């Protein structure tokens, strides 16, 4: 008959043997190769996913055999909150422990989308909707509905999204890119506005954005940007019309066939800065940071006119007589080149 002491020893021995066997099984379980559905195998960890959601996703995709062992391993190694969101590519069958290390390191495949300075919102959306790794949720919405969805105070979307290269996880919703681009534009615009020079003929950051969009479209050479900004600021100060072709072209929309005619400059509409004074009602494109900064920190100049030389540079003038001479000269040069 077993004594109490022997019974306790027996139970303890069984516990140790069981624990050793379980530890050995776990070691093998964590280090044995997992057979993927195929290789290479691509999958994505979405931003904001917690450990349980990640484990369940990996089981659903036939990467992991179960959720509990992966969760246990992550928590034992104190790595339950260090898994990085992103797109991953497995080129060979992993073990659970090597898979966890891979997800912790965040050696992810980068998905990118780039929006160019000077693009219109229509071009922005076209690029966004045509990207194969972005999930479209706003394609059937109009501009006002998109802005409301973003929680924006503006109803017109033009110019309000920052042109840049954005990295994202595969299957990210288009709204996430829109929100980021809108937020960054707000941050950059207000940071520049806070550092503006005194006595600008601009009342709000939005007016600075409108002017910056015109500067963006008029600048062919970066070194001319501040001087072009100075010309427009001078015109606004004295009440002179901006008389800039890009605003007219923008207002014409699909009617513009690539050739701007005299009658187009004389046809009045809200974006025609030849027939109307002041700034147009909205930006005409997405300005880059350099144009935003130029709008609020223009060059100090007496120039009121400029004309493109045809090589990206601009010729600046302080009076109409010199400007007309410059126009005649460079138009003649361009006709010879054509």
Domain boundaries, the chain: 35-109, 111-189, 198-337
**Whether domain 35-109 has CATH 3.30.1490.480:** yes
Q: Contact 85/48 with Cβ under 8 angstroms?
A: yes
Q: Which residues of 313-323 are buried (b: 16+ CB within 10 A; e: fewer)?
A: ebbbbeeeeeb
> pTM of the prediction?
0.74
Which residues are paired to 307 by β-bridges?
A: 315
- Distance between CA 271 and CA 318 in Å, rounded? 25
Angle value at C-alpha 31, between 28 and 32, nearest 5 degrees: 75
Q: Give 19-67 as a 3 state SS string.
A: HHHHHHHHHHHHHCCCCCCCCCEEEEECCCCCHHHHHHHHHHCCCCCCC
Q: Contact 233/299 with Cβ under 8 angstroms?
A: no
Under DSSP, the state recorded for 85 is P
Instruction: Please give the structure tokens belonging to residue 251.
Output: 């207002």
Instruction: Please give the structure tokens belonging to residue 201.
Output: 């003929």
Torsions phi, psi of 132, nearest 5? -70, -20
Which pLDDT tens digits describe the chain residue by residue (338 residues)?
456 666 565 666 666 666 665 555 556 567 788 888 887 888 888 878 899 999 999 999 888 889 988 898 888 888 878 888 888 888 888 888 888 888 888 766 678 899 999 999 999 999 999 999 899 999 999 999 999 999 999 989 999 999 999 988 778 899 999 999 999 999 999 999 999 999 999 999 999 999 999 999 999 999 999 999 999 999 999 999 999 999 999 999 999 998 999 999 999 999 999 999 999 999 999 999 999 999 999 999 999 999 988 888 899 999 999 999 988 888 777 666 65
Q: Say which residues have a Cβ less than 8 Å from residue 336's Cβ, sequence separation at least 6.
A: none
Alpha-carbon distances of 191 from 119, 151, 204, 230, 293, rounded to whole Å = 22, 20, 13, 20, 9
Taking only Cα atoms into account, the Rg of the chain, rounded to an integer number of angstroms, comes to: 31
Instruction: Please give the structure tokens belonging to residue 164.
Output: 């840049």
């Amino acid at each position: 008959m077993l004594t109490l002491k022997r019974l306790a020893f027996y139970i303890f021995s069984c516990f140790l043997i069981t624990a050793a066997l379980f530890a050995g099984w776990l070691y093998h379980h964590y280090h044995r190769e997992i057979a993927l559905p195929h290789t290479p195998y691509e999958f994505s960890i979405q931003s904001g996913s917690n450990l349980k959601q990640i484990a369940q996703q990996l089981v659903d995709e036939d990467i992991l055999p179960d959720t509990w062992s992966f969760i246990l391993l992550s928590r034992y190694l104190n790595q339950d909150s260090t898994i990085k969101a992103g797109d991953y590519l497995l080129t060979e069958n992993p073990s659970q422990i090597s898979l966890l290390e891979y997800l912790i390191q965040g050696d992810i495949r980068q998905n990118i989308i780039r929006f160019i300075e000077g693009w219109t919102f229509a071009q922005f959306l076209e690029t966004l909707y045509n990207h194969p790794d972005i999930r479209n949720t706003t394609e059937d919405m109009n501009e006002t509905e998109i802005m409301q969805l973003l929680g924006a105070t503006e109803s017109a979307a033009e110019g309000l999204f920052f042109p840049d290269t954005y990295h994202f996880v595969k299957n990210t919703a288009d709204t996430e890119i829109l929100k980021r681009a809108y937020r960054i534009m707000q941050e950059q615009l207000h940071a520049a506005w806070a550092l503006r020079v005194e006595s600008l003929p601009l009342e709000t950051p939005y007016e600075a954005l409108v002017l910056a969009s015109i500067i963006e479209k008029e600048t062919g050479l970066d070194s001319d940007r501040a001087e072009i900004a100075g010309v427009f600021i001078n015109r606004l100060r004295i009440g002179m019309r901006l008389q800039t072709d890009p605003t007219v072209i923008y207002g014409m929309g699909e009617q513009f066939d690539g050739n701007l005619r005299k009658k187009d400059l004389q046809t009045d509409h809200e974006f025609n800065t030849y027939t109307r004074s002041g700034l147009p009602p909205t930006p005409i494109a997405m300005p880059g940071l350099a144009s935003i900064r130029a709008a609020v920190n223009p060059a100090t100049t007496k120039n009121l006119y400029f004309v493109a030389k045809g090589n990206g540079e601009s010729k600046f003038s302080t009076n109409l007589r010199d400007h007309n001479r410059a126009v005649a000269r460079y138009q003649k040069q361009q006709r010879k080149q054509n």
